[in-house]
């Protein structure tokens, strides 16, 4: 993995994600307001952020 990819992952990992609110239950409808396209986009973004964090963690690279 090259330095550019690591920097891209770090940038993505620093993005806000609704899973960052540990004390709150997650309800996609609260974020999407019933719009299925918004719900899909929200889930897609959250998945990318969480995957970037896991990859960096596995590589023992701090992103925060």
pLDDT digits (tens, 9 = 90+) for 2-35: 999 999 999 999 998 877 777 666 676 676 777 8
**Is 25 contained in some domain?**
yes
Overall domain count for the chain: 1
Cα dihedral value 44, 4, 64, 21, nearest 10: 0
**Is 24 contained in some domain?**
yes
Backbone angles phi, psi at 40, to 5 degrees: -60, -45
**Is 47 contained in some domain?**
yes
**Is 43 contained in some domain?**
yes
**Is 13 contained in some domain?**
yes
Contacts of 6 (CB under 8 A, 6+ apart): 56, 59, 61
**Is 63 contained in some domain?**
no
**What's the rounded Cα separation, in Å, for the pair 12 and 59?**
15
User: What domain range includes position 44?
Assistant: 3-58
pLDDT confidence bin for 55, thresholds 50/70/90? very high
**Is 8 contained in some domain?**
yes
Neighbours of 6 (CB within 10 A): 15
């Amino acid at each position: 993995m090259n330095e550019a990819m690591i920097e891209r992952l770090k940038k993505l990992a620093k993005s806000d994600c609704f899973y960052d609110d540990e004390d709150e239950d997650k309800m996609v409808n609260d974020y999407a307001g019933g719009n299925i396209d918004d719900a899909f986009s929200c889930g897609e973004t959250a998945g990318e952020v969480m995957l970037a964090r896991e990859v960096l963690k596995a590589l023992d690279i701090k992103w925060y």
